[in-house]
Amino acid sequence: MSFGSFVELARGQGIRVFDHESWHHIEHWLLNDKERAAGVVDGFLYRHLKRLRATFEGDLLLPLIIGEIAHRNIAMLGHRGDTTQQVNKIGSRFGSDSSDVRDEYLPTNAYSLSQSMGVPDATMRRKIAHLRMREWVSVDAGGNLAIIGEAVHRHSEQCNLDSLNDMVAGYRTLAAMGMAS
């Protein structure tokens, strides 16, 4: 589920999401009631980690690697003029031998991931081999990785939906406690 879908889900249930006033209430609450804030946040994170662990065969490093690859695949979008054009380039990244497409992305190979995440190179290579076997990532001739978004989405869709529903429920709890609007 996309961020936009989450916002639609929350708004469909009568919850104002991510507007300035809501953030002001949440910020005030976080600063003035840290113990209850920590309890709500910790509870959500714990349940989310349990869902990720179940979704990714008990291996919490896999969603972190997927996230790092995805981040690197799209990190440069914010620095470009036409975002739609850049998203289309991501889709055609491995269909082209053109260096102008490949050179616009951050290095996304096993070594760069190993270095940035602090994971031993051999471990990273094993994890990437597993992700490739599951067809969640692809690799080009230069060793650069990209997420196969549809495959990851299909695999993690229920986990994401459950987490988003949990987030909406938490927001409702905060609203009932007067800590969010």
Question: Going residue by residue through the chain (181 aa), what tens digit of pLDDT does each one get?
Answer: 455 555 566 566 555 555 556 556 666 666 666 676 677 778 888 999 999 999 998 999 999 999 898 888 777 555 555 555 555 555 544 444 444 444 555 678 999 999 999 999 999 999 999 999 998 898 988 888 988 877 777 888 888 888 888 888 877 776 776 665 5
Is 181 domain-assigned? Answer: no
Report the number of distinct structural domains present in the chain.
Answer: 1
Is 88 domain-assigned? Answer: yes
Domain span including residue 113: 3-176
Name the CA radius of gyration of the chain, rounded. 19
What are 29's two structure tokens? 């609450």
Is 169 domain-assigned? Answer: yes
Chain centre distance of CA 82: 22
Instruction: For residue 161, give Cα distances in angstroms to 48, 65, 120, 180.
Output: 11, 20, 32, 22
Biggest alpha carbon distance in the chain? 56
Chain centre distance of CA 160: 10
Give counts: helices (H), strands (E), the chain: 9, 2
Task: State pTM to two decimals.
Answer: 0.66
Is 28 domain-assigned? Answer: yes
CA dihedral (139, 124, 128, 90) in degrees, to 10, reads -40
